[in-house]
């Protein structure tokens, strides 16, 4: 289940709620004043953990073209086994 961040429209209190996706629009009342909570959109952390991204492509010297990911993966496995 995702964690959603909400802010109270009336008093400004911010709360986090662990809710199913279907209930993301129904967070319940504000814990401080029983006011209306409004969903906030915050930053999300994303980690690319595979070959074929700029962060990992540069680790393979003499890499082939960008569209040849299988060759890049094979070359990376070859280098890591040395």
Which residues, given as ranges, of the chain have pLDDT below 70?
A: 44-70, 72-73, 82
Q: Which of 40, 38, 64, 66 is nearest to 52 (CA)?
A: 66
Q: Output the pTM of the full model.
A: 0.52
List, in sequence order, the alpha helices (H) in 3-68.
Answer: 54-57
- Residue 66: what pLDDT? 52
* Residue 10 CB contacts under 8 Å (≥ 6 apart), including other chains: 30, 33, 35, 36
- Residue 11: what pLDDT? 95
What is the domain partition of the chain in residue ranges?
3-40, 48-82
β-bridge mates for residue 14, sequence order: 7
């Amino acid at each position: 289940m995702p964690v959603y961040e909400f802010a109270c429209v009336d008093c400004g209190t911010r709360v986090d709620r662990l809710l199913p996706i279907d209930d993301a629009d129904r967070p319940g009342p504000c814990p401080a004043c029983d006011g209306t909570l409004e969903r906030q959109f915050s930053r999300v952390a994303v980690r690319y953990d595979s070959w074929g991204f700029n962060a990992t492509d540069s680790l393979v010297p003499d890499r082939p073209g960008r569209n040849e990911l299988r060759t890049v993966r094979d070359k990376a496995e070859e280098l890591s086994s040395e």
